[in-house]
């Protein structure tokens, strides 16, 4: 009898792991389930292992931990599977989207090379060579894959599974330089984009920029999250897509849960949108899909791409509207702490980027003032 998880015979069971190797286990006479302390390259090898265990049972020579197969060194593949299954961040399980990202990186880039290799046999030279030929031309993917490999190996070092230092020693391997510098939209460009958007998405576009909100935060906003009297949005949840599923979740950090003040000039438009386009009821979505439920990014992007073309900014990604709003806030003289609070940042590093961008704009403003003086 077979199923997706593996196969079951008259004694024990076998299943294929995501790494491509086979795991065997059986119920012992002590009433407990026992697994082989190794995985196998082929299903036949796993079946042979079960046969030796059954022979031990018949001969009454079975002891817990006996296997009929000499133990082998722990492989990276086996350890990586256990690491991913038990990984937490600040005591919390990995977010579904993060876990799916790690799964893809492992299966596509890391396990094909290091999966069958014993942890103790991974060397700096082998990591250097792997890094040089992995995700060539895709620096962000390369950096993410390397960071994951380095983190897993680092944990193995901490657990004394690797007696020497972490073999992942590529200088700068986990960092990547921003490929393009984001140029925020001007107010005229922003107005042109909003005008070119379908009416049901105009307020969403305005809040993405003037309130510097993420797509996932906007797509999960509900009527109960809007305080029209105080002119505030309550950001307490976001929606993400992982593994083909739509998942509503709380922010990654406490800083992500925040109240964001809506610029007063937008409030009449927000009230009109609530009347015309939001779903009914306190839990009704502000920006639902046409058929109801959460709006998919692809549905929004189809109309947004046309709008940005009409504004002469084909380079401006949707997330760049958040960047635009952050720079506008910085230009008002907002402090670093105020920017962090408005943007939902837990650390100053990201907010500092917007302050630097605002400083660059200030230089441009000064230059234009001199142009005015010269013209006069």
Q: How many CA atoms, within 13 angstroms, populate the side-chain half-sphere of residue 278?
A: 25
Q: What is the DSSP letter of 172?
A: T
Q: What is the DSSP letter of 174?
A: T
> Is 277 among the catalytic positions?
no
**Of 72, 121, 138, 319, which residue is the catalytic one?**
319
Segment holding 226, helix H or strand E: strand 226-227
Compute φ and ψ for 259, nearest 5 degrees. -105, 130
Residue showing tokens 């960047």: 323
Rg (Cα) of the chain, in Å, rounded? 28
Q: Using CA atoms, how far apart are residues 86 and 147, in angstroms rounded to an integer?
A: 18
| Four-CA torsion 140, 142, 145, 148, nearest 10 degrees | -70
Helices (H), 181-296: 187-196, 199-210, 215-219, 267-276
> Is 201 among the catalytic positions?
no
For residue 159, give both structure tokens: 């657990």
**Of 214, 273, 294, 342, which residue is the catalytic one?**
214
**Of 21, 294, 313, 345, which residue is the catalytic one?**
345
> Is 183 among the catalytic positions?
no
> Is 294 among the catalytic positions?
no
Q: Using CA atoms, how far apart are residues 62 and 215, in angstroms rounded to an integer?
A: 59
**Of 202, 294, 322, 342, which residue is the catalytic one?**
322
- Altogether, the residues listed in the chain come to a count of 376
> Is 322 among the catalytic positions?
yes
Residues forming the active site: 214, 319, 322, 345, 354
């Amino acid at each position: 009898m077979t199923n997706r998880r593996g196969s079951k015979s008259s004694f024990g069971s076998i299943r294929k792991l995501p790494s491509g190797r086979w795991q065997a286990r059986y119920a012992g006479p002590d009433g407990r389930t026992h697994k082989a302390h190794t995985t196998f390259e082929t299903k036949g090898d796993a079946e042979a292992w079960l046969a030796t265990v059954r022979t031990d049972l018949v001969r009454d020579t079975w002891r817990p931990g006996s296997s009929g197969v000499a133990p082998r060194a722990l492989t990276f593949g086996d350890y990586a599977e256990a690491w991913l299954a038990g990984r937490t961040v600040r005591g919390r399980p990995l977010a579904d989207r993060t876990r799916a990202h790690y799964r893809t990186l492992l299966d596509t880039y890391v396990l094909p090379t290091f999966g069958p290799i014993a942890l103790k046999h991974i060397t700096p030279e082998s990591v250097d060579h792997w890094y040089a030929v992995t995700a060539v031309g895709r620096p962000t993917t390369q950096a993410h894959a390397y960071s994951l490999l380095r983190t897993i190996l680092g944990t193995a070092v901490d657990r004394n599974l690797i007696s020497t230092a972490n073999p992942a020693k590529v200088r700068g391997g986990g960092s990547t330089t921003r490929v393009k510098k984001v140029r925020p939209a001007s107010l005229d460009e922003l107005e042109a984009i909003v005008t070119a958007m379908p009416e049901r998405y105009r307020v969403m576009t305005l809040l993405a920029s003037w309130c510097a909100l993420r797509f996932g935060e906007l797509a999960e906003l509900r009527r109960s999250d809007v305080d029209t009297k105080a002119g505030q949005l309550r950001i307490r949840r976001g929606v993400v897509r992982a593994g083909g599923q739509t998942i509503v979740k709380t922010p990654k950090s406490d800083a992500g849960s925040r109240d964001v003040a809506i610029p007063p000039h937008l409030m009449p438009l927000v009230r009109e949108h609530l009347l015309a386009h939001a779903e009914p009821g306190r839990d009704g979505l502000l920006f639902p899909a046409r058929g109801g439920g959460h709006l998919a990014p692809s549905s929004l992007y189809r109309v947004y791409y046309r709008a940005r073309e009409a504004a002469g900014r084909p380079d401006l990604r949707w997330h760049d509207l958040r960047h635009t709003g952050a720079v506008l806030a910085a230009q008002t003289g907002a402090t670093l702490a105020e920017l962090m609070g408005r943007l939902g940042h837990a650390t100053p590093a990201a907010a500092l980027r917007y302050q630097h961008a605002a400083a660059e704009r200030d230089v441009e403003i000064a230059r234009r003032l001199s142009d005015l003086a010269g013209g006069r």
